[in-house]
Structures are given as C-alpha cells and as structure tokens.
Structure 1
C-alpha cells in the first residue's frame, strides 16, 4: 500500500520559510542558518509544543484541531484563500489511486465559445486548453485545442514575450493551478505536469515550492502583441456547470479605448486570413 503524501507538512514547511523573524516580531541575534521561521518559533507563536508541531510537519499527525489551524494560519500570515487551502489539506482524506480521464467540453459550451466576439477558450482543471475560438489563437498561437497554459508560459519563449511581466503572470498561473488541483496533487496528470516543469524550469520549481494559492478569477492582463502592440484586456474566468473544474476564459477590452480598436484590428486580420 502506497504511503499518502504529506501535503499538510509540505505546506507548513514551505510557508514558515516565507515568514521572516522580523515579520513575526522575533528579535534576530547572530547568523540564522534557515530561511524564515524555525519550527520551534512557529510552535511558540502558535501556542503549541515544539514536539507537536514537528509531528505535523513530518506527517505523524495530520488532523490538527480548528484552534491549532487558526493559530498556525495567523503565525504564517496566510490570506483568506491560502487559509482555506490549509484547512482543506487538514481535512483531506486518503484517496484511491485515480485513473486519468479525458475532459470533454459540453457541446453547447464549445459552440458558445466559437460564437463569442472576443478571445475565448475553455480551460481544464490542469490548465489544458480544451477548445478555443480563432480570436484566442490570434491573441496567442498557443491558445489552441491541445495546448497547456503551464507548459506554454514556462517553456515557450514566444509565449513569454507576450507578457511584459512574465514572472508575475507565471506566479499567478502556478497559484491558480494549486487552487484548482487542491489536495489532488497525486493525480496522474498533476504528477506528470509538475515533474516535467520542475525539471525544465527553475522558476516553476521555485514557485511550486512556495505553495501559493490564488483562485482562478478575473484580472487585468497586459499583452505585448507582435502585430497590434500593447493590449490591456480584462480577463474573466467562469466555472462551467456540471464539469470537473472546467472554466470559460474570455478576454475583453473597455469599449471605446485604444485596446478595443487594436483587438478589433486583430479580429479583422484574423477574419481576413480564414
């Protein structure tokens, strides 16, 4: 029988390494050999024994009380989304090994995406592009069925050049991926992606180790497009009902702006080339 991954312990260790002693109100004397807080410092600030906290990090105790979780969330300076992730890790139950299943976009959703007058695509739980309209492919040639947003953003220089703040976009993508997979990091598809990208991209490896969590939602995105120049677009991500984590992603400009004109030009160019 395979041992269950120690997700809670990995999370606690990663997050305490991100909190400085100064942020926690701990005086620093001499040279510290560890990044962030020591285990015994977290335990002291949370009001629990150092031995108990060690058991949590090493996976020997995986069911801390709500009171302990609240105390740890405060010490680790977690925001609401990351706090919810912590509670989810503590509540996770052992799972059977999952078989990979194919994600299928509902036909009505695929037709809707095709009809939208803005760049739009459907994103799977592991950030696979499941379907996309022509304007999405015009915005980025990687936004086509069969692509994967993680692979493209971390491994494709052409995709990276679309984002002036590439590292910021990459960090947000990884945090959204963590939120999407939740406690299912042993899912075969997740294991495959994380393993591949950890080997190929030092930036991905560093961001994944942080255990940042951010919901996949609305945002403003700046693109540096090779044909029409800079485009600032609003991004919407909407859950598709009756699916396992699929989201409709659409980019749209503020009407009457230069961005709207440039997106219209891109659309006209795309239509002329079809």
Structure 2
C-alpha cells in the first residue's frame, strides 16, 4: 500500500524529464520521466531504498533524505514545503490519531470584525477544506447566480466537484479543481481532511481522487469568473492565514479596470450585510 509521500515522489519522478536536470537521454523507456536509478544517484540513496519509500514500505525517511530528494527532483519552494508536510503525515500514519471529524465552523469575533472592515470589498473567511465560514456582501454579489452559496453550509470544494454550474462559473475550472484538491492535504487537521475526503470522494468520483494522487502544487494565478450576468471578472487573491484557527482570510481584488467597473455595476444591484455561518 502506498503513502502520500511515496505517491508524490513517484508522480514527480514520472513527470520530470531527464534533460531538464541535465541528464542524458537514454533512449526508449518503459515508463515516462526519470528512472529510479537516476533519481537515487542524484539523491545519494540506493534504488532499493527509493523503491521502499515510493511503495510505502519505508514511512520514516530522515530529514536529510527528504531534502536530498527535493534537491534531486529540482523542487521549487512550494513543492518542497509540500514534500516535507507529506513526510510528516506519512510518518504519523503509524501513530494512533483521533477519529476523523468535521472541523469547527466558528469564526473568532476579531476575525469577523476584520472582515467587516473590508466592506465593500470582496472577501471571505474559509479553511483548506473549502468551507465558506463568513463573507462580505460583495462576495455574495460576485458569486450570485452561480449556486455556490445556495446551501446553508456552502463549501467551495464540494461545489467545484459536484455542481455542474461550477465548470461554467470558473473559466479555468481545471486549475481551480487542482487547487481545491491540493488544499485537502492541508486541512485544519489530518483527521478533518480524512473526514471530508471520505465524505466527498463518492460524490466527486475519479475527478477528485485523480487530482489528489497527482499532488499538483497550484500556482494560484488570476481567478477568472464568468458571472451569470455576462460579466467576465478577473480577480487577484490575497490570502492571510489565521493560523491559530486553521482558517484564512481571502481578499479578492479586481485585476483590471474592466473588472472593477463590472463589480461596481453588480454591487449596485445588490446590497446585504456581512454573513457569518456557524
């Protein structure tokens, strides 16, 4: 049985071309990407040890080995952080953990006050599972008619993978889906991530499980929305972590003048108070 750490290393090895690391092309290969032999040599570990890590038979590689693998694969800083996180939770799989359970939906009053100060801007409080815990009236405006906020406990990840309207609303649906799947690894806790993934997987099907196992570290560029009114919105994202609560404050800023004007038009149609969901 594999592990998240082994799956990530194997996925990155398969997607890494030898030429990108300055290695010679060795003709036809049975599988794509980098050979175990080449990766092991670059990382200074044996092929046998690398095989055990990839197959989940060694769950506790040292920090030095993890760093050597990151160097050998040419990982960028975000990918290195993810590799270290996977090493941590993979090693913890052998330790008894609490029963998986949903995270708290309570938002600290001070965080709600901060969100209120951002009115009339577009902002929300969420967590890595995609729960929309509180939002400004402007966030409701730019998502109106999309179906995202139709439930009492809206969740962005569930919406992306189970609501057909999401594929139209998000102009770059594939990228957004990769982002939401990746963030499930970073939920409020390992237990809550396991709970939510188990709940969502039967509904989302292979679209979710395939993306989870690929471990694609998202780039999080401009968020493009096709508003049902016909406006195309281009939004920049600023994310501020409220680490003590495993929540985050997300602010969406118009990327261009056309988007700013469209948001003003939409905001003129609808006014509402700050919404918190508990």
Displacement of 1:86: 1.6
Displacement of 1:123: 0.8
Q: Which residue of 2 aligns with 1:27?
A: 25
Between the aligned partners of 1:185 and 1:61, the Cα distance in structure 2 is 25
Q: Which residue of 2 aligns with 1:267?
A: 267
Q: Which residue of 2 aligns with 1:42?
A: 39
Mapping of 1:1-274 within 5 angstroms? 6-24=3-21, 25-30=23-28, 32-92=29-89, 93=92, 94-100=95-101, 101-110=103-112, 112-113=114-115, 116-141=119-144, 142-144=147-149, 146-180=153-187, 187-197=194-204, 199=205, 201-202=206-207, 204-214=208-218, 219-227=221-229, 229-240=231-242, 242-243=244-245, 245-253=246-254, 257-271=257-271
Note if contact 2:234-2:254 (Cα within 8 Å) is conserved in structure 1. yes
Note if contact 2:5-2:86 (Cα within 8 Å) is conserved in structure 1. yes
Partner of 2:25, secondary structure, is coil
C-alpha distance 99-49 of structure 1, shift in aligned 2 (>3 A): closer
Note if contact 1:137-1:143 (Cα within 8 Å) is conserved in structure 2. no
Displacement of 1:182: 7.8
C-alpha distance 26-181 of structure 1, shift in aligned 2 (>3 A): farther
Between the aligned partners of 1:268 and 1:260, the Cα distance in structure 2 is 12
C-alpha distance 98-90 of structure 1, shift in aligned 2 (>3 A): same
Moved more, 260-269 or 158-167: 158-167
Note if contact 1:121-1:143 (Cα within 8 Å) is conserved in structure 2. no
Between the aligned partners of 2:83 and 2:189, the Cα distance in structure 1 is 10
Between the aligned partners of 1:254 and 1:61, the Cα distance in structure 2 is 46
Partner of 1:17, secondary structure, is helix
Between the aligned partners of 1:110 and 1:86, the Cα distance in structure 2 is 33
Note if contact 1:176-1:213 (Cα within 8 Å) is conserved in structure 2. no
**What is the TM-score of this pair, normalised by structure 1?**
0.80
List gaps (5 residues or longer) in structure 2. 273-278
Between the aligned partners of 1:88 and 1:12, the Cα distance in structure 2 is 13
Q: What count of residue pairs does the alignment treat as equivalent?
A: 261
Displacement of 1:254: 6.0
Note if contact 2:131-2:154 (Cα within 8 Å) is conserved in structure 1. yes
Displacement of 1:149: 1.2
Q: Of the two structures, which has the highest relative contact order with CA contacts closer than 8 Å and spacing of 6 or more?
A: 2
Displacement of 1:119: 2.4
Structure 1 stretches of 4+ with a deviation exceeding 6 A read none
Between the aligned partners of 1:106 and 1:140, the Cα distance in structure 2 is 24
List gaps (5 residues or longer) in structure 1. none
Displacement of 1:246: 0.8
Superposed CA RMSD in Å reads: 3.0
